[in-house]
Structures are given as structure tokens and as C-alpha cells.
Structure 1
Amino acid sequence: MDPRKNEDAEFAYGSGHINPLQAVNPGLVYDASAQDYITFLCAQGYNTTTLRQVTGDNSTCNGISLGKAWNLNYPSFALSVPDGGYATGSFYRTVTNVGSPNSTYNAIVFSPANLTISVVPSTLTFSQVGEKKSFVVKVNGGRLFQQPIMSACITWFDGKHTVRSPLVVYTTILPFDMDTDATALSSLGRPNLAHKKKGRIGGN
């Protein structure tokens, strides 16, 4: 499937077709531990009681604050932008070398013209199997209004292994609150609806 021909972009095909021969030698993996998932659930609003219903053990959410879903060490990136907000976000990831003991991977970025995507550092050098390296994917763009899905990808390549991760940016329309959002809408150059909050739309 081709993102140039499919309007659903990365949501239509993810990381691509599975190649069984290459799957057993991926080069790099995004290794997430049980603690990573515990931190993820707590950051998404689970408390100790609901967390233990999932883990079945004595795990707790003590000391873990609410956070973004994209902080999980997962091999894909999705930036949800509130309608009218800016396409800005940073993804922190760690990869583990399961390929050649001595290898150097360079980041190759594909992105649409209205997004700037950078990878820091853009080169990862490993000296042994099992070694871990961390990097940050930074996304920067302008203000988005009901923007269709924008599709991008990041590929780590060492001359032999191709480790591709999809990245999508899309807008979400949040529930409108007349008391708190009318001023924000007015600042964006839209009609101020505050005067209608107690009356009927179109009424006197």
C-alpha cells in the first residue's frame, strides 16, 4: 500500500508488510519492560486499585504523575493536536541493538512540507549486542485547523537493517465549553459566542 494513494496514510498500513525472513533479524528493537507499561497506565489515569486489576500483583502508581500517551517506548509516533493548536511535540525513545555487534545507524526522515521533523542524535553507534541508545524525535509545525492526517516516517539504516517507524500528525476537536473557550475563539479571530451561552442560538 502506498501513502500517496491512500488518504488514511499511516493509519491504513502501519509499518508495512511483514517479511518473515527479516523479522527474525530486525537490527534494532524498541524494548518496553513491564515497568514501562505500569508507568504508562498510571500516567493515563489509572490508580493503584485499577492498576492491580491489570497487573495482578502489588504494583502501585505512587510517584507517577499524569503524562502523554506517546511517552511509552513504542516503535511508532502519533501526535494529536487540538484543533487550532500548534503541531509541536517531542518523543523520547530507546532502542536496543540485536543486530551486528559493531554497527552505526543513521536516521532517515520523510515528512510533508508543512512539518519539520528532526532526530537527535541522528546517528547511533553500537559496540555490542544488547547495547541501548536513546534519541528524541522533535516535531514542529504551524497551527492546524481540522487538518487531515499528515503522514511521515523515521527509518534507522546501517547498510543492512532497515528499522522503520511511522509517524502521524492529526487534529482532534475537543468538546466546546462556552464558559472557558469563547475567549480563546475570539482571540483566533472567530465570532465570540459568550453572549449566547444562556440564550438560544439565533434567538433574541
Structure 2
Amino acid sequence: MKILTSDFFPSSIEGRLVRSYKRSFNGFAARLTESERQRVAEMEGVVSVFPSMNYKLHTTASWDFMGMKEGTNTKRNLAVESDTIVGVLDTGISPESESFSGKGFGPPPKKWKGVCSGGKNFTCNNKLIGARDYTNEGTRDTEGHGTHTASTAAGNAVENASFYGIGNGTARGGVPASRIAAYKVCSGSGCSTESILSAFDDAIADGVDVISASLGGVTTYMYEKDPIAIGAFHAMAKGILTVQSAGNSGPNPTVSVAPWILTVAASTTNRGVFTKVVLGNGKTLVGKSVNAFDLKGKQYPLVYEKSVEKCNNESQAKGKIVVCSYAIGSDVAVAFIFKHKTEFATVSPWPISFLSLEDFGSLISYINSTKSPKAAVLKSEAIFNQAAPKVAGFSSR
């Protein structure tokens, strides 16, 4: 801060300071001219100066696979787990989720020095013990990503969890007895690097034991110019481990390469979600999607179009199942069947099924074989696959 208050700058610094890092390490984010940036970089004691960047977010039975199964065969020290605080740098958190209920928890560990500053209608408890916001939106999660990552790391065991009845089971984090502190550094527009560094600065001083950061850039930077590497380095100096996702750019390499960061790849799960398509001739094709819409097995006329423009023709789509080579959407169609090569299922606001190239070809052959082709898109079902887990194709390497 001495730099900012000195006579170093030819113009006023007032209003140009964006962030000041001073709780756990020294630094700042400010709006500088190119000449000012160069002068700061040449000053004694300045390790690095780099431009602000916008990082992106990286989107079931993993703990069992790692030998951390629930039950009598797993040795757990609940006293140690309850004293562990996981700081999650993400899109915030949904405090009402059962994964973060404070029921059965005692007061926060004495080492905790953080705050609950989540904004309007946001309440912490003895499980979710802290919240900070760096986006001016409040710590409440409007994206879902932060709630997902926080529950994966340390969510309570929640029985009968499902997506509208699909994939019913018990959802739990790796260390369900631990505490959570949420640091909202990301919004719908991304994750600013100055916010990320501010969150590291606070999380270290607040007393967390582990920092989770499921976000990152698109290219590799030198350690002294990588905000996550910088924050994680200062965390490491205090005995705090930073866990960062490898990224979703597979098969390209990960950009999380600092040796003091534990980088985690994405993996497949031991169950897949599939959506069956039953044709008018009785043949069943198995596609992928997370389809919670139950059309009761009713069959509807099929309309097949080869171009995106024709696929979006609402006059032809109304009351029918649209078959298209491209993923599109319409409020008048009953459902959609797309051609898509994918290894994972996605959620859609419409009943859909993504068929493999081979099955899509079978569907087109059926459509061409009859004057009145019809089909039914069924509600998705979860099918267990014991071949998992393995590194997912989309995971950065």
C-alpha cells in the first residue's frame, strides 16, 4: 500500500484501487496505465505485476472408490473431522440445502476467525460457518456450481437424494462432519482474478484447513503470474492445502501445474443416466440425457429435418417429436431426439434424448420406412456401471 500512497504516480490513485490484499499476504489490484505498470514492476520488493483475467468454472461414488465408505468398516475420527474447515472458492452456496444443515453440530472450532457476510436472507449455522462475497451479488449461489462442489467435498449425508426421482440414493461429501466456509468469487460472467486473490487472502486468515477451487484459466502462466498459484503458495506456507480441478478441456493438458497444488481430474461415475426412445415398430434405442419429464410412454409423430432452420420451424414441430442432427429447442414440440456423440448426460428444459451415430442412423431408417413414423421418449433411468471410475474424456490431462 505504500506504493499507492507515495508520490510515485503522476495521476491520482483515488478511485483506482480495486482490491487490497493484506490479511495473509501483501498486494493489490488497481487500474494502472501501461507506464505505471512498468514502473511498479521495476520497484524493489515487487515480485510480479500481471493483468486481471477472468477465470472459468470447471463443471457419486468417488469416496467409496477411495476407501472412504460409510459404515462400520471405515475408521473415522469425527473429532478431527469436525475441527476441519473447508474453504470453497466458487459461485457461492445455497444455505438451505440439507447438505449444509447444522443439525447435530457443535459450535465452530475456536481457530475460526471468519464471518458470515452472505448478504440479505442468508444465514450460517454450525455446519456452514462462514460466507464472504466478492461479486456484489451476495454469497447465495444462483449458478449451482458452488453448492455442487461444496457438497462434494464436505456435504452432510442426505438420504433419498435424487433428481426428480432419477438416481435415488444417499448424497454425501468426502468428509461430511467437517465445516464449510463459502467464498463467492464467481458470477455468471466468470471469476475475476482479483476476487480470487482476495478470497485466498481472507480464507487463510479466517483459519480454513483446506481450500477448494474448481475453476481456472485457459492457458498456463508462470507461477508468479498465476493468481491461484500465488494464493495457494501463501496458503501452503500456513499449512493449508489447495485443491484445484484439472479442468474440462480434455484431452488437452491441465493449466493447474504448481507443485504445491493438489490437482484433481474429472472421472466417470459407477452409474449412467440413460433415456430410452421406443419406436412405433417396437424397437428401443438407448440415448443419453437427464430427462425428468414423464410422458407416460405415449407415442407422438416424428418430424425429421436436416437443417437447424427447419428444426426450429414451430409450425412443423407443434405436437410432434423433433428429430434433428443439431441440439435446438422449441416450446411447441413435445420432445427432441438429437444426434450427438457424448459420454455424459446433460439436463435440458425439454424432454430429449441424445442418440449415438449408429442409433441415430437406425432412427432415420425407421422414419424412411413408414408414412407415419412415431415414437415415445421415456423418462430417464439410472443404470449402474461397475467399470467406473475412470478418467473422463473431457477431463484435462
**Fold shared per TM-score above 0.5:** no
Compare the two structures and name the one with the higher strand fraction.
1
Bigger relative CO (Cα 8 Å, ≥ 6 apart): 1
TM-score, scaled to structure 2: 0.18
TM-score by length of structure 1 reads: 0.30
